[in-house]
Structure 1
Amino acid sequence: MSGKKNGNHYNLKALCCGKDLEDDGRILGCPECRDPHLLRASYKKKQLKTGAMEEGLYRFSDWLPIQRELKGSSAPVSYKSEGLAKALGMNNLWITFNGWWPEKGASMKTGTFKECEAYAVCARIPENTEDVLVVASAGNTARAFMRVCSENNIPLVVCVPEDNLNSLWSDAPGADCIKVIACASGSDYFDAIALSNKLCEGAGFYPEGGAKNPARRDGMGTTVLSAAIEIGKIPEFYFQAVGSGTGAIAAWEAALRLEEDGNFGRNKMKLMVSQNVPFQIIHDSWKADSRTLLGLDNNEARQQSQIINAKVLSNRKPPYSLPNGLYDALKASGGDVLLADNEEAEKAALLFEQSEGNDISPAAAVAVASLIKALESRQVHKNALVMLNITGGGMGRYQKEHTTAPTVADLVFSTDQEVSDVIEQVQKLF
């Protein structure tokens, strides 16, 4: 291992005012700034040095805002595509795979790059913290945090839509320190976020923070670090499907650090993010050149989230508008927002499995479909240096090779449940 971290290798910079802040492992914003903003980690080491793959995610520990290292992590795996590249007529396609593919060294047991954020966020929390971490999720994030917290004895409550509970499968029973609460059938990811906010008003609970958590972003940014190391330079184009867009913001921030490093070139990596039709609020806002998200009726949003196959892409309040959020990242990178419907994504998933040899998640399939469409429209040249972030894969294979079981919610709440009721009932679980 590269050695235990104690947090001395970084500080946090408030992007609203430029103030440097010491990290207590839970801070999500500058205490003196009221306007929406992000904190960004500033690392003492400006040039990227990585450890061995055996160190898992912590091979990137110099560029992770962490206090310690946890057991069980896996790093993203990047390789130059042959099968899919040939099928698409591409010469320089690089795939970053996050999931279960032991032959390639990919051993994320939850099958998703949400493990990258979970191992980073949880390693940022000081050891022996007694308060309970609260995470809102559409499914994949919850599954990742449940595994990490269960293996490392970190108290956790995950809040998910009841209809998405089947995404919380596991091959082992969760530890007693893990509790699952759900918002009733018919709700969506935003309802899960609202439920988590209610719980965090109670003593003893604290929010993970989503995009505001610098460890979440830098954990997901390791996908770009992985690709840059293998390629030897910053990619020209970065493809990923998005729900909140936090992973794309993370990719942009990682590319900025690589530019500053100087050993990977100084080109701007274009963010090419995609959404699953008809849930396309980011796409429609971007195409209208609107920093402000266009309006989306709550009931319409819930209906759209039921239609799309990639349920995790259904965030109706993404960090799009805030300074240094997704809108700014797209503008700064010269990127774009693309669309793929369920049928296009299903065809793309089949093509990937046939050409590369592993199954991919519905969200990753949306990214592959958008790459195909970008090539067909000549928005991306077939000789371009492209990084395709497969955010989840091998889940089907993992479930065939292991005995898994779904998770049952400890409590189910209506969307209009009183704050005091939520807090009181969840406190009784502990």
Structure 2
Amino acid sequence: MKDFTPTAYTLVSVATGREFDDEGWLLDDKQSEKPTLIRTRYACKQLDVKPEEYGIYRFADWLPIRRMLHGSSAPVTYKSQGLASHLGLENLYITFNGYFPAIGANMTTCSFKETEAYSVCARVNEEERRILVVASAGNTARAFAKVCSENHIPLLLSVPADNLDALWFEEPLDPCVKLICAEKGGDYFDAIHLSNLALRSDRFYPEGGAKNVARRDGMGTTVLSAATTIGRIPDYYFQAVGSGTGAIAAWEANMRLIEDGRYGSNLMKLMVSQNAPFVPMHDAWRVDSREMLPYDEDKARRDVEIIDAKVLSNRKPPYGLAGGLYDALKATGGEMLVATNAQGSKARRLFLDLEGVDLHPAAGIAVASLIKAVGEGKIDKDAVVMLNITGGGEQLFKKDKTLWYLKPDHIFPLNPNPEEVIRKVESMFA
């Protein structure tokens, strides 16, 4: 990789505006009394986009990184012809995160979670001796496993046993990557709980999820790809959400582009969607509640079992805290939409026919929501629309390949003994 000087930035508390230095792996403002995200403030105010060979690090000016890792790919934005004509939209732009060589998209995990992993792992100090912990419903785990394996970064993954089929790879992983699971019947929240138990050991440290500025700024490269390709900030942004982190990242990237001054001054209207019947953020937003509404644990698990887009199943999203999805929707005049499994499946078939590549279920929910919004007259035909395709090309990538699956080192019950979890995860990295 090219010679690289670590990106210059400071951190800012959304709640208080306090600006402070990043001491290495800060996830919170320690001085804030209320729950809040922190954001990066970059020394470079105008984005200098590097050549394609840099992969995601084309956008390194606005990534909080210490180094560049091998193997990354950037999101690819192109102007739609087929879907745009079908919907009667004159300026529909698709930002594709996945595997579609025909348009130059080469994310081999087929998911935009690669944008997170290559940014987060490049923030890790090369002298770090603790083990990174990532909880995931599937796609995030696959992305972090690939990046950590290829760059020899010790990693502990925690994934629901029901989602193990998401952990496929083209070749065996480096043994620095280990996996634990919450038993069958568990969901993403159970995987998070399990990872939190492992983190009671001082040999591990948390990736941080939405709180990690590198994760959000990595995801924000989707908007940087769109704006620098189109030449302006889009009017609408469509994406399916599980935690809402991608939409928060889009809002933050949007504000940086406004400050850049070359891409317009508008805030994209965030049009985010959930997969019915698992719609906790939609339910809270519908009644204008900053707080999530009560959601019976057993019902939540049943609803997760029903939905096709398992990656959209976060029961504890960063919704109500300062700088979270509630604030993002309020700031942009956004909307929270819903699509069913049937609508998502129909949208995926349509996208394959019109755009030529298969989609992940979550991306199908986003396409279905766009179709509904257009049908309801919410989008002017000449509006500049960004459709964030968060995963696709998996069938294309897997064609004629023999895949390797990561197997769990331990499977734990849904209410595990904390001491047993600590003892077993420590022994895995002995």
TM-score (norm 1): 0.98
Q: Indicate the residue corresponding to 2:4 in structure 1.
A: 4
- Looking at structure 2, the residues matched to 18 and 266 of structure 1 have their Cα atoms a distance apart, in angstroms, of 22
Q: Indicate the residue corresponding to 1:231 in structure 2.
A: 230
- Looking at structure 2, the residues matched to 315 and 234 of structure 1 have their Cα atoms a distance apart, in angstroms, of 29
Q: 1:2–1:59: 8 Å Cα contact kept in structure 2?
A: no
Give how far 1:274 is off: 0.3
Q: 1:138–1:164: 8 Å Cα contact kept in structure 2?
A: yes
- Looking at structure 1, the residues matched to 222 and 177 of structure 2 have their Cα atoms a distance apart, in angstroms, of 27
Q: 1:271–1:330: 8 Å Cα contact kept in structure 2?
A: yes
User: For 1:161-181, what per-residue CA distance to the aligned partner results, in whole angstroms no more than 9, with x for missing partners?
Assistant: 000000011111111110000
- Looking at structure 1, the residues matched to 33 and 114 of structure 2 have their Cα atoms a distance apart, in angstroms, of 31
- Looking at structure 1, the residues matched to 65 and 156 of structure 2 have their Cα atoms a distance apart, in angstroms, of 21
Which stretches in structure 2 are left out of the alignment for 5+ residues?
Answer: none
Q: Indicate the residue corresponding to 1:81 in structure 2.
A: 80
Give how far 1:10 is off: 0.9
SS state of the match for residue 399, structure 2? Answer: helix
- Looking at structure 1, the residues matched to 425 and 33 of structure 2 have their Cα atoms a distance apart, in angstroms, of 30
Q: Indicate the residue corresponding to 2:161 in structure 1.
A: 162
SS state of the match for residue 79, structure 1? Answer: strand
Residue identity matched to 1:11: T
- Looking at structure 2, the residues matched to 78 and 25 of structure 1 have their Cα atoms a distance apart, in angstroms, of 32
Residue identity matched to 2:79: K
Give how far 1:381 is off: 1.9
Give how far 1:23 is off: 1.9
User: For 1:301-321, what per-residue CA distance to the aligned partner results, in whole angstroms no more than 9, with x for missing partners?
Assistant: 111111000000000111000
SS state of the match for residue 98, structure 2? Answer: strand
Q: 2:170–2:403: 8 Å Cα contact kept in structure 1?
A: yes
Give how far 1:350 is off: 0.4
- Looking at structure 2, the residues matched to 62 and 6 of structure 1 have their Cα atoms a distance apart, in angstroms, of 9
- Looking at structure 2, the residues matched to 294 and 15 of structure 1 have their Cα atoms a distance apart, in angstroms, of 24
Q: 1:29–1:38: 8 Å Cα contact kept in structure 2?
A: yes
Task: Give matches, 1:250-329, under 5 Å.
Answer: 250-329=249-328
Q: Indicate the residue corresponding to 1:195 in structure 2.
A: 194
TM-score (norm 2): 0.98
- Looking at structure 2, the residues matched to 27 and 229 of structure 1 have their Cα atoms a distance apart, in angstroms, of 30
- Looking at structure 1, the residues matched to 189 and 180 of structure 2 have their Cα atoms a distance apart, in angstroms, of 14
User: For 1:299-355, what per-residue CA distance to the aligned partner results, in whole angstroms no more than 9, with x for missing partners?
Assistant: 111111110000000001110000110000000000101111000000000000000
Which stretches in structure 1 are left out of the alignment for 5+ residues?
Answer: none
Give how far 1:418 is off: 1.7
Bigger mean CA offset, 285-294 vs 396-405? 396-405
Give how far 1:103 is off: 1.9
Residue identity matched to 2:369: S
Residue identity matched to 1:228: A
- How many residues align structurally? 429
Task: Give matches, 1:133-172, under 5 Å.
Answer: 133-172=132-171
User: For 1:242-266, what per-residue CA distance to the aligned partner results, in whole angstroms no more than 9, with x for missing partners?
Assistant: 0000000000000011111110010
- Looking at structure 2, the residues matched to 306 and 115 of structure 1 have their Cα atoms a distance apart, in angstroms, of 25
Q: 2:241–2:247: 8 Å Cα contact kept in structure 1?
A: yes
Give how far 1:33 is off: 2.3
Task: Give matches, 1:3-82, under 5 Å.
Answer: 3-7=3-7, 9-82=8-81
Residue identity matched to 1:88: L
Bigger mean CA offset, 14-23 vs 166-175? 14-23
Percent of aligned positions with the same letter in both sequences?
56
Give how far 1:151 is off: 0.2
- Structure 1 runs (4+) deviating above 3 angstroms are none
Q: CA RMSD in A?
A: 1.0
User: For 1:214-247, what per-residue CA distance to the aligned partner results, in whole angstroms no more than 9, with x for missing partners?
Assistant: 0000000000000001110000000000000000
